[in-house]
Amino acid sequence: MRLLEELGESGIRLWVEDGRLCCSAPADRLDDTLRTRLKAEREALIALLAPSGAAEIPASAGVTRRPAEAPRALTFAQEALLALARARAADGVYHVPVAIDLAGALNPNALYNAVNALHDRHEALRFCFPAEAAGPVLRPRMARITIEESVAFAATATRGGEGLPAEVAQALRRATARPFDLERGPLWRYCVFTLGPARTVLLFVFHHLIFDGFSRDVFLSELSELLAMPTIALAPPPAASPPRVQCADIAAWERQMAEGPRGQHSRVWWGERFPEPHPPASLPGLAGPPEADGSVRITFAPDLAEALRARAGDIRQPVGALALTGAALALHRVTGQNRVLLCTPLANRDQPEAAEVIGYLSRLVPLSVPLPPAATASDIVAELARGLFAANGHRFLSGAEMMAAPGLARTPINHVMAAWQERRQGALRINDRPVALVPVERESADFALALQFEADGTALSCQISYRGDVMGRTGALAFGDLLGEVLAAVAGDDSHLPIAELAPPQVSCDRLRTLLTGHPGVDDAAVLADEANGTLSAWVVLNEFNRTSADELKAWLGEAIGGLLPAIELTSLAALPRTPEGAVDLKALRDSALTRRQRPFLAPQSALEETIAELWREIMWLERPVGRDEHFRDLGGHSLLAVRMLADLEQRLGRRLSAEVLMKLGTVAAFAAAIEGDDGIGDGPPVVESGLDPEILARLHAYTASWKGERPFPGALIVGLNLRGKRRPLFWCLQNGTEFEQLARYIGDDQPVFGMRSGHEAMVKSPENIDRLAAHYAGEIMRTVAQGPLFIGGNCQAATIAFHVARHVVAAGREVALLVLHEKMVPERYGGRVALSFGRESSRNPYLWNEDPAAEFRAHFVGDFTIDLVSGGHGQFFHEPHIFDLVEMIRRRRDEVPALEPQGRGGR
């Protein structure tokens, strides 16, 4: 019926209990007009809402006093917190500070009498939690609360929380963080800080086990009334009647509800609400090193509270739902996540008897906030409000049972908390003097990120508490600014816009890629967004000359973006995978990331395995542990990373690793086994006598340790692929393993290819070093192919090495059937067959600056030579599509040489 639709849109819930129509609604929605309509439609609504063919859910009995002899039970909230509170009893993570700033002095006797009157009136203020007790235990009334700290500071004329002198703010933080004794109590304290005769700051600190945010107004209101008594300074006030019920009575009532039909219906509802695994809330990324946990209070524009209330009235939704929507959208703007999991506290004070109770009653419930791009802010507010009211109606479970829902059982729910609290109307006064609440920064944060909104008349603020590994103070302030912008948009005239326009993510994939490639340490980058998990995955190709780290890159991004980063997973690759058309193969990147996430974890089994795994995690910028069965290359390892990793590992181990060990760089377990089996003697005599410096040889072994393929003999530098092919092998000198793999992949399975690494970054490129390295490679080639013609080539500076390899081979009496020199002409005399090639768009293309390059070639290459132009600019030839042109040229020139026709297996 239409009335039910209207009520649902307004966040009003109806149900039938024991034949009665029951209603849960915000106070400002349940006006006389609505009451009249409900009375008129009462019978029809009962008929529509009452379960058919089944017993109705019995009415929720009012909260009553438990029998005096009955043991006190924990509220569900206390039950969920107690173990955590014991584990962190030494810090202030579960402390609730309430600080007030008032003009003038307070009579210490009056304050003592008022405080202890509250101590006597509210049982929760006398709770302690001995380890052997199943529930809270009452401390004796005679165990009075006395002032814990009284400090006089120099007078100051500045008032208000933001104007406190630094030493006073520090004293407040210290007093807030001091631990409580959970076993013996008391679990609250008060301190007085005077700033001359004209100003007093009064601090109360409560352990969360006895005090929630909704208790504060009860406490301050009663404190104000007590201090207003004329005789309060002279004698304790007359014993006030206790509240109708106490915290332990509500605990007993909760358990009664959970054990009955209410609890059963709640179990079913939570299971249906979260049937599938829900991703945890994505958190902002930290741009710099972790900071201390902390909090900041953001004060919004004076008109924002009224604007939110006005918008809430227009769309007939509770104003708190607008604030929580703003929190979800602000997170979405940072992380891009399209479904945010928030925790929010429910007052758990629906029963009239609970309104005046002090204690930890509030229930934290998970709330899934979908953010589809086409939805408007009003759509999200309405859906969120419906979820809030439904969760409140099904809160009759322990926290453990609630989180046992299939979609929550394995999901961390302590990432983000957002809460809305509307203070009671009327300014707080003590002794007829106005009082200002003072924000107190807490030393540590319970949730990774907690957003606590507080509306007080026209004032609206939000305390942002953060874990230091999520954001620092600068990030929290930036998030506060963003939150203010989003709330203004939600409350403004543009709230009808889809959120794709109203609150788009601050950092798109394109923007992040542009920023990354602007860093001098990054040659190329690709970025993919995971909107479900709220992460940006970025793969970067590092520059060999300008080395950088993940921390440096994130700091760079933080400066560019403004200190508030999305969650970014950085991975270093030797090269980005590409489609045949030359575009970055995003599917291959996505699949590789998914495979890594889904891989089962096998923990290292020795100290050496742990050392290697941790080093790989650091080198490869991983935010997860590395398993013993994971392969260096599969994690993103490549030549540059192998060199850095091996240098660090040798430093940690305090010894040099032999070439045989380096050649076994595979899984963590296999590499550790190779190291443990190393005799420590060293590399032994070189496999080829060439005069090459052993340090250069060791560095080249490190660079090629991660290359795919097979070594033709132990200790060899060269690596082979396509070794089942029947052609004479091609020995190609190049710079890195990715170029080698691309060449072998596209030249064809029938063509064996051996890769020779250039001396880049491994040696000074002096003529002597180049000649000795060429002599070394020549020796390995002739040992690999003992007889018959040879096929040699290289590109760029590595072509110079290939040229001298050919010269050494010829000097040793062997035939070089074809020498391929790509992007390099060596101005030395050579009599064998040469295939020269250059990129059409390359700066090395001699036809762009020489009228007759062939004449110069003829002056040095006295045998047959050919010249080809292939597609691409310098540095692009091993990327698709240019690699196709390069290998086509190599095959074509090879096939022109009869000596290189297919022979036996491998041509050897």
DSSP string, 119-142: HHH-GGGGEE--TT-SS-EEPPTT
Q: Which amino acid is at 515?
A: L
- The pairing of beta strand 816-822 with beta strand 834-839: parallel
Q: Residue 160 has what pLDDT?
A: 44
Compute CA distances 452 → 139, 208, 296, 420, whole Å: 31, 15, 11, 6
Q: Residue 7 has what pLDDT?
A: 65
pTM value? Answer: 0.76
Q: What is the pLDDT of residues 669-717, one digit of tens each?
A: 999 998 888 765 444 455 677 788 888 998 899 889 889 999 999 889 9
Which helix (H) or strand (E) is 254 found in, with range? helix 247-259
Compute CA distances 132 → 75, 183, 205, 851, whole Å: 17, 9, 25, 96
Identify the CA nearest to 22 among candidates 506, 350, 463: 350
Q: What are the tokens at 634?
A: 């599969």
Q: Residue 30 has what pLDDT?
A: 65
- The pairing of beta strand 449-456 with beta strand 459-466: antiparallel
Identify the CA nearest to 199 among candidates 170, 138, 146, 157: 157
Q: What is the pLDDT of residues 124-180, one digit of tens each?
A: 999 999 999 999 999 988 889 999 988 888 876 444 445 788 899 999 999 999 999
**Tokens 């849109």 label which residue?**
9
Q: What are the tokens at 375?
A: 């939805």
Q: Residue 906 has what pLDDT?
A: 43
What is the distance between the alpha carbons of residues 47 and 43, in angstroms, rounded to a whole number?
6
Q: Residue 57 has what pLDDT?
A: 42
- The pairing of beta strand 429-430 with beta strand 433-438: antiparallel
Domains in the chain with CATH codes: 2-49 (1.10.10.1830), 76-248 (3.30.559.10), 251-293+304-348+361-422+468-502 (3.30.559.30), 509-593 (3.30.300.30), 604-684 (1.10.1200.10), 692-907 (3.40.50.1820)
Residue spans of the chain under pLDDT 70: 1-13, 15-20, 24-30, 43-61, 156-162, 424-427, 442-445, 595-598, 679-687, 903-908
How far is C-alpha 456 from the geometric centre of its chain's CA atoms? Answer: 34
Which helix (H) or strand (E) is 768 found in, with range? helix 767-784
Q: Residue 188 has what pLDDT?
A: 97
Q: Residue 386 has what pLDDT?
A: 92
Q: Residue 166 has what pLDDT?
A: 87
**Tokens 């009995």 label which residue?**
61
